[in-house]
Amino acid sequence: MKVTIPSQVTDFLIIGSGIAGLRAAIELAPHGEVCILCKDEPSESNTEYAQGGIAVALSDEDEVRLHYQDTMAAGDGLCNPEAVKILVEEGPHYIIELIDWGTEFDREGTKLDFTREGAHSKNRILHAHGDSTGKEIIRALLKKAKSYPSIHFYPQCYTKELMVEDDRCLGVIYLNENEKSFHSLYASATLLATGGAGRVYSQTTNPPFATGDGMAIAFRGGTTMMDMEFVQFHPTSLFLPHSPRFLLSESLRGEGAYLKNIHGKRFMEKYHPLAELAPRDVVSRAIISETKKTNASWVYLDLTHLKPSFVRSRFPKIFNTCFTYNLDLAKDMIPVNPAAHYMMGGVKTDLWGRTTLSGLYAAGEIACTGVHGANRLASNSLLEGLVYGARSGKDMASDRNPRPSAPPGYLLEEEQGSLKRKDFERIRQEINNMMWDKVGIMRDKVGLEEAIEYLKKYRHLSQYHPLDRYEMETINIYLVGLLIAVSALRREESRGAHYRKDFPQPDDKKWKLHSTIHKGSVEF
């Protein structure tokens, strides 16, 4: 049954209020009305949970050239060189701009304090309040955005789907959770800045709202997806029964933390010359190998050799969180294990955020410019959101499509299916566990084929018309999981974060290329 829902019109529409969405909004503010749909509150985003820092070549000992080289090396042959060049060359300008807007990065005296993380050749990581970098950046960007009367925030508004006509995105359908009503919102240009999809997996550092919504609605709307097989697993999340997989930042190892097995012995030197500072995919696989060798479920992160006062002051948020679980970061070895953390793949875009669907842009973790290649360099994600959020905003402002005219009301399919909340809870848990077991850190053909066949049991969900946020999120988790699994099965090699036990080596002749997937290219 179709029902008529209210329609609205704006100049520019942004889905998501993380670093990419806010920076784009600020760029657009002088050019017209900007509406930002927020899944939760405006301050709630993946950015807010970013602990470690933001990478930028601004210190006296660093060079843009070196940041470029480190990013390219981490990407394992798949970085888009032009995208990386833009990132590292434009990054310093936007960081200085952030500081001018009131972002308070940590300093040593009057100088910015730079630290180092895995696979960086220089100290180039800026941090704020020790380990609350993302939160501080969001504070400053929100304050700046709210100073513009043309920017309007819509909290608790969940985007259901794109409105597409003649291969152009006209806007979105969204659910206002406070009013429990659907609305259509038309815009001359729409930006997806919805973040990642860690909640596709049972073990993840991502917050509960990272359910891959933007990727799913973009795919259903007809965009091309790229490099979906490349999921980064963070090596160190807190591993305790019945507790969330709290992220233990890479900056802990950057400041000298050791990884030790359950017998108290360091092991990373056996796996990589950089030991604890090796690329994340190497460290994650090393931890999995070590747990298997020692018949354990975890390894330890050890900072007990560092000065306790330094540990407490440098990592206050992590220290306090561990302390709530009766663990003293300065005195105890902390049990850790890898968890899903970041999507290198996503909605295919050009260097200005344009997707393959006219009128639709994407920026931040949801987007795939190729800047991260097969493996993201630590702390490049916030910089990507900042730089490419601004670039998307610039291009949206120059998109000369007039402000659209909305029809009196949009017809929306509203037919409640037979599934209940408990059914969706079961489906989500089963998909999460299966993705972790079959499409996780170590993959092979048998496991991937089993995962795809299992997921296809739920293909009927694609025809379901959900009226509830939890239901819509679960359907998106199913779809994004399937995109990851299909892409992982196709890539018959190991590269960066994608590791195939049955194809353990990279194959440059066949696979030094980006994968793409779109509606019609695979059965869903």
Beta carbons within 8 Å of 334's beta carbon, 6+ residues apart: 238, 248, 300, 301, 302, 303, 322, 327
CA–CA gap between residue 273 and residue 302 (Å, rounded): 19
CA–CA gap between residue 185 and residue 173 (Å, rounded): 6
CA–CA gap between residue 54 and residue 57 (Å, rounded): 10
* Contact criterion met (CB below 8 Å) for 133 and 126: yes
Query: What single-letter DSSP state applies at residue 222?
Result: T
Active site residue 421: no
CA–CA gap between residue 245 and residue 300 (Å, rounded): 14
Structure token digits, residue 361:
């842009």
Rg over alpha carbons for the chain, rounded to the nearest Å, is 22
CA–CA gap between residue 48 and residue 17 (Å, rounded): 10
Catalytic residue among 116, 199, 280, 495: 280
Sheet holding 346-348, edge to edge: 367-368, 346-348, 225-226, 516-517
Q: Which residues are registered as beta bridge partners of 440? A: none
Nearest one of 141, 128, 60 to 97, comparing CA atoms: 141
Query: What single-letter DSSP state applies at residue 176?
Result: E
Query: What single-letter DSSP state applies at residue 29?
Result: G
Longest dimension (CA), the chain: 69
Strands 258-260 and 346-348: unpaired
Query: What single-letter DSSP state applies at residue 495?
Result: B
CA–CA gap between residue 384 and residue 336 (Å, rounded): 28
- Which residue type sits at 486? V
- Which residue type sits at 54? I
First-residue to last-residue Cα distance in the chain: 24
Strands 367-368 and 346-348: parallel
Structure token digits, residue 70:
């480190």
Which residue numbers are catalytic? 280
